[in-house]
Structure formats: C-alpha cells, structure tokens
Amino acid sequence: MSAPVHTGRPSWIRSALAVFLKDWNSELRTRYAVSALLMFVLTTIAIVLFALGTEGAPPHALAGMLWVVIFFSGMSGLARIFVTEEERGTAMTLQLTAPPSAVYTGKLLFNLVLVYAVNTVAVLLFFFFIQGFEVRTVSIFLVTLFLGSTGLAVMATLIAAIIAKANTKGTLFPVLSFPLLLPLLLAVIKATQLAAEGAFFAEAGGEFQILISYIGAVLTVSYLVFDYVWKD
C-alpha cells in the first residue's frame, strides 16, 4: 500500500512564490542584501561627487555615471541570493523541496524587487546630489530605468547561480558579469543620454529593442540551463 502522500495538486506558482517569500522574509530579518546595495550606492555617488568637484560634467557623461553607480551597487548585492544558500548549506534543502524552475523564478522575483527598489533610491540620490544631471524626456528615462533594471536582475540572477558553487565567488561575480552585461550597459547609457538630451521617445526605439531582446534571450537561456547549474 502506498504511503499516504499529501493530496492536492502541487502548484508550481505556489512553489515559486514560496521561494520568493522565504527570501523576502529572510531579507526583512537580516537586511544583508539591502544594506550592501545601499552602502554601495552611497559610496559610489560620494566618489562621483568628489571626482566632479564643483566643475560638474556634461549631461551625457553624467548619464554614464548613473549607470556606473547602478552597476556597482548591483554587483555588491545581487549575487547573495544564491551565494548565501551555498554558504549556509541550505541549497540542498531547496533542491529537495522546490522544482528548479520555481527556485529560479522565486529568486529572480526577489532580485527584481530588490533592484527596482534600490535603483529608485539610487536615481533619487543621484538627482539630489549630482548637479547638472537633467532628464528632458522623462518617458525615455523611466522605460530605460525599468528595462535596464530588469536586464540587470535577470542576468545577475543567472550568474549568481553559476558562481555560487565556486570558491572565488566574490571575484568571479563582477568579472563574469561585466562582459555579459556590456550590451545592456551600452544600450541603457545611450538611452539615458537620449533622455538627457531631450530626444523624442521614438528615437530611443532602437535601444529599447536591444534591451527587450537582451532580456528575452537571457531569460530563455536561464530557464534552459538552470536545471544543470542548480543540480550539481
């Protein structure tokens, strides 16, 4: 006779949400990732501020600096989502309970929420502290910020899963991330420059297409390879 396995259809969505809620509640109690990200935002903005002094910089250069702040803050905290599971030895607990695709989805949701929140703070601080940075086409800027943040979270989540089992996690994450994020960074910097220059929304269409294609491609690859990355 079979063991009385719990009745009820297992739900993949419930599983993915459970992974997200576990990380969310863990973050509310420990604040590891938020603290790391916000510290890097403050530090990099301070360095940009000191470097510019009182002379300022042209808007197109400041557009690039905004993404320097966002990139480095992301590098400091987004890898934690998988690294902490490996360091604490809880990765196997997840492997034994949730399907791999649900784990990836839950972790990605958490990184998305984290990136949207921290990047919003980063942009507000950047506007407040860095004089001369002006956005003339707000719609281009908001879409760029949304797509750029999404792409950063999607790629960072996959890289975090890959490097989590390596011994040199801390070094490997930014080293591996930079070349893989380069197409995204080039597109968001260009689009932010267009927003600063007051271009029409349609002029940024090419950059948006690159960003959407990038997110789609990375998401597809992530779901294809995650089973292998996660298992061994």
Residues that bind other proteins (CB under 8 A): 1-6, 8, 10-15, 17-19, 21-22, 25-26, 29-30, 88-90, 92-99, 102, 231-232
Chain-centroid distance of CA 175 in Å reads: 16
Closest approach of other proteins to the CB of residue 8, in Å: 6
Closest approach of other proteins to the CB of residue 23, in Å: 10
Q: What is the dihedral of CA 94, 100, 103, 109, to 10 degrees?
A: 170
Nearer to other proteins, 87 or 134 (CB): 87
Count of CB atoms situated within 10 Å of the CB of 84: 18
Nearer to other proteins, 16 or 70 (CB): 16
Rounded CA separation 192/137 (Å): 9
| Structure letter (DSSP) for residue 54 | T
Nearer to other proteins, 19 or 123 (CB): 19
Nearer to other proteins, 19 or 161 (CB): 19
Longest dimension (CA), the chain: 80
Chain-centroid distance of CA 162 in Å reads: 15
| Structure letter (DSSP) for residue 204 | G
Tokens of 75: 């590098």
Closest approach of other proteins to the CB of residue 163, in Å: 19
Nearer to other proteins, 43 or 95 (CB): 95
Closest approach of other proteins to the CB of residue 93, in Å: 6
Is the Cβ–Cβ distance between 188 and 147 less than 8 Å? yes
Closest approach of other proteins to the CB of residue 83, in Å: 14
